[in-house]
Amino acid sequence: MITPLDQIAYIGCPTCFKKVTDSRLTGFFCNTCKEIIKEKYLYFIHAIFQDFTDKLVIGFSREQAQSLMNDVDAHTFMTQTRRKFKSEADYETWLQENVLYRPIRIFIKAKSEQFKGENRQRFYAIDVSRVAITAEEEDGEKPVLNFC
């Protein structure tokens, strides 16, 4: 199960991918590149994967986040797809149809990090691929077991 958190994209610099802040008079200015840039939406996704045993929060890179989002790039998602949602329910429906409950294969790495003086494990995706399943598998039909 995947539950993307509310904030899944940010406005960033297309060159260095750093977050930029709105400045409407001059356009967007990247503090790293020291120039006015044509801003771009970029994904920043941490998704919760869970079943009845436990849950795991996994961080995804911009590219991996895009495959998670059914290959809709962040800019298209934020400027077009999302605009069509009239309510939170529309967003939920879109997620159901495009993102949630899809079989995907994810390789992750665990990283120990210090957080508020505590050691904790963070998980990052290193490879994401969608897994094709047959219609029978989708229907939950199990292979028939034969005894001889």
Return the closest-CA partner of residue 4 out of 41, 42, 47, 44: 47
Q: Which residues are within 8 A (CB) of 107 and not within 5 positions of it... i.e. 6 or more apart?
A: 125, 126, 127, 128
Cα angle for residues 26, 30, 31 (degrees, 5° grid): 110
Q: Which is nearer to Zn ion, 18 or 122 (CB)?
A: 18
Window of 7-15, 46-54, 105-113, 127-135 that interacts with Zn ion by CB under 5 A: 7-15
Tokens of 135: 């219609």
Nearest distance from C-beta of residue 35 to Zn ion, angstroms: 7
Phi, psi of 58 (to 5 degrees): -120, 135
Residue numbers 32-61 binding Zn ion by CB under 5 A: 32-33
Residue numbers 8-37 binding Zn ion by CB under 5 A: 13, 15-16, 30, 32-33
Spatial separation of the C-alpha atoms in residues 46 and 44, rounded to whole Å? 7
- Residue 108 binds to Zn ion (criterion: CB under 5 A): no
Nearest distance from C-beta of residue 44 to Zn ion, angstroms: 16
| Total residues binding Zn ion (CB under 5 A) | 6
Nearest distance from C-beta of residue 64 to Zn ion, angstroms: 21
Interface positions with Zn ion (CB under 5 A):
13, 15-16, 30, 32-33
